[in-house]
């Protein structure tokens, strides 16, 4: 054993350190039980309102409405509890990753122990395929490579070297190539080694990320906050109207018991149970719709939030790129250069170069670059049939980043080498001119984001193998450039984001030149490149200024991703963040919308995120943004309709009291009206197609309320116009001395026609009668058929008329009720244009439900 590879700790020393430092696992956070989660969910105003409405309908005897509302409430509670319970598994997933079993040296003997029993100072023995149990420093290494994508998100394994500890040695950080440090949770992909443990449990790199994650609170979706505010307003309004009805009835007509019953009926008509129903249905259906494009939604409200995103922070590997290496460029010493697209065969003039690179690789490769080299050979004759068997291999060393293989076919020996260009240049003993000739294409490839390997050959004189590679005389064969190709769909998706006013920013651990090259190819806007080192030197104020011009963050460390997200949020941006590694989990949780990779993402990243891309496709994010905007548009259409439709209901309840007329509607009429209103707002508007400008308008302002004053004004205008027409009809027929039962029937059918007219008006932001009537919507057809069936049943079933206190009315009166709906539709479509000019200065199209539209 070397100077540092001693007999290891004694069992007594290990036990003492375990007692002092604690087990090698993450601290358990106070987990919420399912009951505690359920109680928290029940405190949500949206769900409380559903339950209250269902209970009130039960007391009033309206069983159908009660069951519908209680069914929605139960469904929503179950879904929310399941989703919230899953988020409690984040630290559990981290703990599983951070505590594998380990082979340690104690008192000179090798002993396999549970990962939680590893302590600082332990010597751990590592072989290919091992999961590293703790942060450690290599004291002995044999061609050891580690996959640190769990922490860094970068797909390529990194080489590790053994060094003697120094007093001034910096603290270990993840993501290092050619350094002696290993990290808990990483995987040994090649070679073997022995390492001394430096940190365990919460003091390890993965532990610090876990502590950061535990301390972050997921931000409540804006939709939830807005709903709380809206429900409060509507509860106050409904309560005020109900109280007014009780007072007017009692004071003007006497009979306070009847007054209270009338107040309850009117209060139920004003109870905005449609709001939570709309939100529950829209988000549940949105989850289903977005799942069809390969996106799993873990928190439904995040879909709507994604539709308002202003900044999309994306990583490179596997999101913008395909997460697989391929040969992108070849160069021969003669000066010939070939740019090779994925899937194309290598021309004959370059095949010898690719064969040489394959001979310098493992026969059964696991390294992504070696896999790409073998793939480029295609289905050519196996190497062993042409060149015999592999008889000697020289591995990479810290002082020479090159590897060589010697092949023996029984007659001839062939040596092939590949490695860093500088290392191969040294082996080939290139002249200054030849070195410069090679350096030019190396730099050109690097600027394009291509990773470069140099390839060389030599002819061993005999089978007495030299101790090192330097003993052979090499000839340069050329350069092989490898790249992780951009996904074909990415440029179009990025362009669509830019048209939609969404700023796309790339955050990666790659070099600045590589990151900028990939960003340019993806179509990310030109801007500054900020490296992790430069960012570390900036305070928060200076970083806020730099954010305005930076489009690429390169060489970024794990905690810096979180700082970037928080800086964007502090600047008032709505931030979507993609990620896949454990290091991404804090930033995914801190972002307004965390987007995790489904195929290559870790459990920790998926649990911390709100949305998971099942196919790791950037284009799916754009589809989710489109759907999020559509959902928000349709929610506002439904909310405007709900506001508008309650104005005439409340008005027709108050007018008879104010003018001494018979009461028109009781609880059963209100329940019947709700059977029309609920499907319209919950099903018809959810199924509405997206607006034509959905991905060409900028995101809505971060502080824009769900209910803008413009939308409220438009809703009041609609409801007021409806009430005026209905009141005119009421007073006209009262003057004509229409019997009370006929008048009640006429006003009920007229109100149904008005409700349908309001639904048609609010289907689109466009001021177009054709759009209102002809936009395809299967749900609307179903509702119209249901309304027609209900109307027919009332008209032709005497028992139904008796129950509702209706009398048969003439067909001319039915035509009058239908004509009122048609007139209302035409007036409001014209009103869209006029009111649009008055409110926001646009008369061609009046998007009264949106603010900030130029």
Highest average pLDDT, of 120-134, 208-222, 260-274, 583-597, comes from 120-134
Q: How far apart are CA 293 and CA 485, in angstroms?
A: 23
Q: Is residue 680 a contact partner of residue 755, using CB atoms and an 8 Å limit?
A: yes
Provide the pairing of β-strand 311-314 with 135-147: unpaired
Alpha helices in 762-849 (DSSP H): 769-774, 778-796, 798-804, 811-840
What's residue 96's pLDDT? 46
User: In which band, very low, low, confident or very high, does the pLDDT at 100 lie, cut at 50, 70 and 90?
Assistant: low
Collapsed DSSP state (helix, strand, coil) of residue 320: coil
How many C-beta atoms lie closer than 10 Å to residue 571's C-beta?
16
Q: Which residues contact 555 (CB under 8 A, 6 or more apart)?
A: 509, 510, 511, 512, 531, 532, 533
Q: How far apart are CA 358 and CA 291, in angstroms?
A: 42
Tokens of 351: 């095949």
Model confidence, pTM:
0.68
What's residue 671's pLDDT? 66
Please give the backbone phi and psi of residue 177, each rounded to the nearest 5 degrees, phi first.
Answer: -105, 130
Closest CA to 636 of 269, 233, 228, 223: 223
Run of H or E including 714: helix 709-735
Q: Which residues contact 553 (CB under 8 A, 6 or more apart)?
A: 505, 506, 507, 508, 515, 529, 530, 531, 532, 535, 560, 564
How many C-beta atoms lie closer than 10 Å to residue 853's C-beta?
18
Q: How far apart are CA 494 and CA 524, in angstroms?
A: 7
As to burial, measured by CB atoms within 10 angstroms (0-12 exposed, 13-18 middle, 19+ buried), residue 799 is exposed
Q: Which residues contact 381 (CB under 8 A, 6 or more apart)?
A: none
Q: Using one digit for the tens of pLDDT, what is the confidence trace for 24-47? A: 876 554 555 667 666 766 665 445
What's residue 840's pLDDT? 41
Give the chain's mean pLDDT: 79
Please give the backbone phi and psi of residue 333, each rounded to the nearest 5 degrees, phi first.
Answer: -55, -20
Q: Using one digit for the tens of pLDDT, what is the confidence trace for 466-518? A: 888 989 999 999 999 998 888 888 999 999 999 999 999 999 877 787 788 88
Tokens of 97: 């990753």
Q: How far apart are CA 134 and CA 195, in angstroms?
A: 10
What's residue 286's pLDDT? 77
Q: Which residues contact 393 (CB under 8 A, 6 or more apart)?
A: 403, 404, 405, 406
The yes-or-no verdict on residue 839 having pLDDT over 60 is no
How many C-beta atoms lie closer than 10 Å to residue 599's C-beta?
13
Handedness of CA 173, 174, 180, 183 (dihedral sign): positive
Q: Which residues contact 410 (CB under 8 A, 6 or more apart)?
A: 388
Q: How far apart are CA 753 and CA 787, in angstroms?
A: 10
Q: Which of 351-355, 657-661, 750-754 has the lowest mean pLDDT?
A: 657-661
Distance of CA 328 to the CA centre of its chain: 31
Residue with tokens 């824009």: 704
Please give the backbone phi and psi of residue 8, each rounded to the nearest 5 degrees, phi first.
Answer: 80, -175
Average pLDDT estimate for 510-529: 86
What's residue 187's pLDDT? 81
Q: Is residue 530 a contact partner of residue 547, using CB atoms and an 8 Å limit?
A: no
What's residue 723's pLDDT? 95
User: In which band, very low, low, confident or very high, does the pLDDT at 409 lie, cut at 50, 70 and 90?
Assistant: confident
What's residue 1's pLDDT? 43
What's residue 153's pLDDT? 58
Distance of CA 39 to the CA centre of its chain: 27
Q: Using one digit for the tens of pLDDT, what is the confidence trace for 292-346? A: 777 877 776 677 778 889 999 998 877 788 777 889 999 999 999 998 877 788 8
Q: Which of 234-238, 340-344, 798-802 has the lowest mean pLDDT?
A: 234-238
The yes-or-no verdict on residue 93 having pLDDT over 90 is no
Give percent above pLDDT 70 in the chain: 76
Q: Which residues contact 193 (CB under 8 A, 6 or more apart)?
A: 126, 138, 140, 141, 142, 144, 160, 162
Collapsed DSSP state (helix, strand, coil) of residue 343: coil
Cα separation values, 273 from 269, 475, 542, 668, 677, Å: 10, 80, 48, 16, 11
The yes-or-no verdict on residue 119 having pLDDT over 90 is yes
Cα separation values, 157 from 412, 602, 618, 677, Å: 34, 17, 24, 59
Tell me which of 122, 147, 315, 580 is the catalytic residue. 315
What's residue 651's pLDDT? 85
The yes-or-no verdict on residue 432 having pLDDT over 80 is yes
Collapsed DSSP state (helix, strand, coil) of residue 267: helix
Average pLDDT estimate for 257-279: 64
Average pLDDT estimate for 408-413: 86
Q: How far apart are CA 491 and CA 481, in angstroms?
A: 22
Q: Using one digit for the tens of pLDDT, what is the confidence trace for 717-764? A: 999 999 999 999 999 999 999 998 999 999 999 999 999 999 999 888
Q: How far apart are CA 554 and CA 615, in angstroms?
A: 25
What's residue 57's pLDDT? 56
Alpha helices in 660-701 (DSSP H): 667-679
As to burial, measured by CB atoms within 10 angstroms (0-12 exposed, 13-18 middle, 19+ buried), residue 364 is exposed
Q: How far apart are CA 767 and CA 843, in angstroms?
A: 8
Collapsed DSSP state (helix, strand, coil) of residue 387: helix
Q: Using one digit for the tens of pLDDT, what is the confidence trace for 758-780? A: 999 988 887 677 777 878 888 88
User: In which band, very low, low, confident or very high, does the pLDDT at 268 lie, cut at 50, 70 and 90?
Assistant: low
The yes-or-no verdict on residue 88 having pLDDT over 60 is no
Residue with tokens 């030299």: 466
Strand intervals (E) in 422-544: 451-458, 474-483, 503-507, 528-531
Q: Is residue 655 a contact partner of residue 245, using CB atoms and an 8 Å limit?
A: no
What's residue 710's pLDDT? 80
Q: How far apart are CA 174 and CA 705, in angstroms?
A: 42
Q: Using one digit for the tens of pLDDT, what is the confidence trace for 662-721? A: 878 766 677 677 777 777 777 888 888 888 888 888 888 766 777 677 888 888 899 999
Q: How far apart are CA 588 and CA 29, in angstroms?
A: 19
What's residue 484's pLDDT? 83
Strand intervals (E) in 450-601: 451-458, 474-483, 503-507, 528-531, 550-554, 575-579, 593-597
Tokens of 800: 């139904």
What's residue 769's pLDDT? 74
The yes-or-no verdict on residue 73 having pLDDT over 80 is no
Q: Using one digit for the tens of pLDDT, what is the confidence trace for 165-224? A: 654 455 555 556 678 889 887 888 778 899 999 998 888 887 777 666 555 444 445 666
Q: Which residues contact 360 (CB under 8 A, 6 or more apart)?
A: 403, 404, 405, 416, 417, 418, 455
Question: What is the Cβ-side half-sphere exposure of residue 414, based on CA atoms within 13 angstroms?
Answer: 21
Q: How far apart are CA 739 and CA 748, in angstroms?
A: 14
Is 143 catalytic? The answer is no
Average pLDDT estimate for 436-461: 89
User: Any bridge partners for residue 662, and if so which?
Assistant: none
In angstroms, the first-to-last Cα distance of the chain is 74
Higher pLDDT, 25 or 463: 463
Closest CA to 637 of 840, 780, 837, 842: 780
What's residue 853's pLDDT? 32
Provide the pairing of β-strand 109-113 with 102-106: antiparallel
Higher pLDDT, 630 or 836: 630
Give percent above pLDDT 90 in the chain: 26
Higher pLDDT, 529 or 229: 529
User: In which band, very low, low, confident or very high, does the pLDDT at 144 lie, cut at 50, 70 and 90?
Assistant: confident
């Amino acid at each position: 054993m070397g100077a540092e590879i001693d007999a290891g700790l004694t069992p007594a020393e290990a036990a003492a350190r375990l007692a002092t430092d604690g087990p090698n696992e993450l601290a358990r956070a106070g987990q919420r039980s399912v009951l505690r989660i359920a109680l928290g969910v029940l405190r949500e105003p949206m769900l409380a309102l559903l339950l209250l409405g269902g209970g009130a309908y039960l007391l009033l005897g309206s069983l159908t409405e009660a069951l519908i509302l209680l069914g929605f409430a139960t469904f929503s509670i179950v879904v929310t509890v399941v989703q919230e319970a899953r988020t409690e598994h984040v630290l559990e997933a981290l703990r599983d990753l951070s505590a594998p079993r380990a082979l340690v040296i104690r008192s000179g003997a090798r002993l396999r122990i549970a990962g939680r029993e590893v302590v600082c100072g332990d010597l751990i023995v590592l072989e290919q395929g091992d999961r590293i149990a703790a942060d450690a420093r290599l004291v002995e290494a044999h061609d050891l490579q580690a996959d640190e994508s769990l922490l860094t998100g970068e797909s390529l394994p990194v080489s590790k070297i053994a060094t003697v500890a120094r007093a001034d040695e910096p603290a270990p950080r993840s993501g290092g190539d050619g350094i002696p440090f290993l990290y808990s949770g990483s995987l040994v992909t090649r070679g073997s080694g022995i390492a001394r443990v430096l940190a365990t449990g919460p003091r390890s790199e993965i532990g610090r990320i876990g502590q950061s994650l535990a301390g972050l609170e997921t931000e409540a979706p804006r939709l939830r906050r807005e709903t709380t505010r809206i429900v409060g307003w509507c509860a106050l309004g409904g309560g005020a109207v109900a109280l007014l009805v009780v007072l007017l009835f009692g004071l003007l007509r006497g009979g306070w018991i009847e007054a209270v019953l009338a107040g309850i009926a009117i209060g139920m008509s004003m109870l905005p149970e449609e709001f939570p129903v709309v939100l529950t249905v829209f988000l549940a259906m949105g989850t289903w719709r977005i799942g069809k494009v390969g996106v799993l939604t873990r928190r439904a409200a995040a879909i709507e939030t994604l539709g308002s995103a202003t900044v999309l922070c994306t990583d490179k590997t596997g999101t913008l790129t395909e997460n697989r290496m391929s040969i992108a460029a070849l160069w021969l010493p003669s000066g010939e250069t070939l740019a090779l697209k994925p899937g194309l065969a290598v021309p004959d003039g370059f095949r010898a170069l690719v064969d040489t690179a394959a001979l310098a690789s493992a026969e059964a490769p696991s390294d992504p670059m070696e896999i790409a080299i073998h793939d480029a050979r295609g289905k050519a004759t196996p190497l062993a049939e042409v060149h015999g068997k592999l008889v000697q291999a020289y591995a990479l060393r810290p002082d020479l980043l090159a590897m060589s293989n010697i092949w023996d076919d029984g007659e001839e020996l062939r040596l092939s080498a590949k490695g860093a260009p500088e290392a191969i240049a040294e082996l080939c003993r290139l002249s200054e001119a030849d070195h410069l000739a090679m350096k030019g294409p190396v730099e050109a490839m690097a600027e394009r984001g291509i990773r470069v390997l140099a390839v060389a050959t030599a002819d061993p004189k005999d089978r007495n193998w030299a101790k090192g590679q330097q003993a052979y005389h090499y000839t340069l064969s050329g350069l092989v450039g490898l790249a992780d190709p951009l996904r074909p769909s990415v440029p179009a998706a990025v362009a669509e984001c830019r048209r939609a006013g969404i700023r796309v920013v790339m955050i990666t651990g790659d070099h600045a030149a590589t990151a900028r090259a990939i960003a340019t190819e993806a179509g990310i806007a030109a801007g500054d490149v900020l490296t992790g080192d430069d960012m570390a030197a900036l305070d928060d104020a200076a970083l806020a200024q730099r954010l305005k011009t930076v489009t690429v963050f390169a060489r970024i460390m794990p905690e810096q991703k979180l700082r970037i997200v928080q800086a964007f949020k502090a600047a008032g941006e709505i931030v979507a963040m993609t990620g896949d590694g454990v290091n991404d989990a804090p930033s995914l949780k801190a972002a307004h919308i965390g987007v995790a990779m489904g195929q290559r993402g870790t459990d920790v990243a998926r649990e911390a995120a709100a949305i998971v891309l099942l196919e790791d496709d950037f284009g799916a994010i754009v589809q989710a943004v489109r759907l999020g905007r559509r959902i928000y548009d349709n929610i506002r259409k439904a909310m405007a309709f709900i506001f508008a439709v309650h104005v005439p209901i409340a008005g027709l309840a108050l007018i008879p009291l104010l003018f001494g007329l018979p009461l028109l509607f009781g609880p059963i009429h209100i329940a019947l009206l709700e059977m029309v209103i609920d499907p319209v707002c919950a099903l018809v508007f959810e199924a509405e197609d997206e607006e034509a400008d959905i991905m060409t308008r900028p995101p809505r302002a971060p502080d824009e309320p769900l209910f803008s004053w413009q939308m409220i004004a438009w809703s009041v205008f609609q409801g007021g116009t409806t009430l005026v027409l209905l009141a005119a009809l009421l007073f006209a027929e009262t003057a004509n001395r229409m019997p009370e039962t006929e008048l009640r029937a006429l006003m009920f059918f007229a109100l149904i026609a008005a409700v349908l007219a309001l639904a048609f008006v609010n289907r689109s932001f466009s001021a177009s009668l054709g759009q209102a009537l002809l936009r395809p919507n299967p749900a609307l057809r179903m509702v119209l058929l249901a309304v027609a069936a209900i109307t027919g049943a009332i008209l032709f079933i005497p028992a139904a008329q008796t129950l509702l206190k209706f009398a048969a009315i003439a067909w001319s009166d039915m035509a009058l009720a239908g004509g009122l709906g048609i007139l209302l539709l035409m007036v409001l479509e014209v009103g869209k244009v006029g009111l649009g000019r008055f409110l926001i200065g646009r008369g061609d199209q009046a998007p009264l439900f949106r603010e900030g539209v130029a």
